[in-house]
Amino acid sequence: MKPYIYITRKLPEEVLRPLLDQYEVEMWEDENSSVPRDILLEKAQKASGILSMLSDTIDKELFEQSPNLKVVANLAVGYDNIDLAAANEKGASVCNTPDVLTDTTADLTFGLMMAAARRLIEADRYVREGKWKSWSPLLMAGMDIHHKTVGIIGMGSIGEAFAKRAKGFDMDILYHNRSRKPEAEETLGAKYADLDELLTQSDFVVCLAPLTPETKGLLQKEQFQRMKSSAVFVNAARGPIVNEDALYDALVNGDIAGAGLDVFEKEPIDEHHPLLSLKNVFALPHIGSSSVETRMEMMELCVSNIRAVLEGHIPNTLVNKD
């Protein structure tokens, strides 16, 4: 009997070809919704491998009910949706997809910052709604990016890739991270700052930190009030790092000028989300790594990791190395 692999989203068949001959593979076929919890638990009970998404909760309950489970391959860099302690207790490998999406996510983050600063989405709507009647000197005037100060919260690989793009726009780069990055300081001219200093000095504050117990809820009312009233906040990391009520109040009260958001506390959001009622908010549906090339490479890495574990080898991107 072939080992069974469950995939929690529909993926292209060509990506799965290396698995189809050796294993029994089943996917959740609805592209527009997450696999329901009861179905995930049911499928996990017989699975040797699971290819999961960041929105799937792979917790202690699931591991305890899955006697054959050897590997969980998460289609994301983050893996806070997976209970690592339970995986270790089970002896199951947990894998993610770092590195392959670094540049793609940095591109999107920089684009989101530009869109927020130069009001690109708002200007597009202005034209489409037939409001453009004449040229005027300050029509849809936004903020310059070049020669401004950007503060990066989270100087991992994506943060450094973003900083490279900022350097190309002659931006002054501050960063806050749990450890110093001497190489980035030397090659990019980035300067380490504590969080308060970064918030008060930056024209753009860009969050690219991982979600950890230390970063969850990091940005509250006090942090937004320390920012410049002309500043733009960008979050392409994880939603729970930010208190969204505090962000909403900061935008309404004029504590900051605008926000570009690719992530939210609870996803997906609907059209009634309070932040979407504000004209100075630019929102995307968590598409930081969403280029065709990168997503295909991420899927291929997940497939490779599953095969490696089930064939008795060490996977390329093992999270729980201990």
Look at phi and psi of residue 66 and say left if phi exceeds 0, alpha if psi is from -120 to 50, else beta. beta
How far apart CA 8 and CA 308 sit, in angstroms, is: 19
Instruction: Say which of 119, 286, 295, 307 is annotated catalytic.
Output: 286
Name the phi and psi angles at 256, rounded to 5. -135, 165
Using an 8 Å Cβ cutoff, are 47 and 70 in contact? no
Any catalytic annotation for residue 13? no
How far apart CA 123 and CA 27 sit, in angstroms, is: 41
How far apart CA 261 and CA 235 sit, in angstroms, is: 5
Report which secondary-structure segment, H or E, holds 283.
strand 281-283
Q: Could you give the 3-state DSSP secondary structure of residue 93? A: strand
Q: What is the largest CA-CA distance in the chain?
A: 72
Instruction: Say which of 13, 183, 222, 267 is annotated catalytic.
Output: 267
Tokens of 143: 């903020």
Query: In one letter, which amino acid is 209?
Result: A
Any catalytic annotation for residue 238? yes
Look at the block and give the residue holding tokens 């932040």: 275
Instruction: Say which of 165, 238, 295, 307 is annotated catalytic.
Output: 238
Any catalytic annotation for residue 313? no
List, by residue number, the catalytic residues: 238, 267, 286
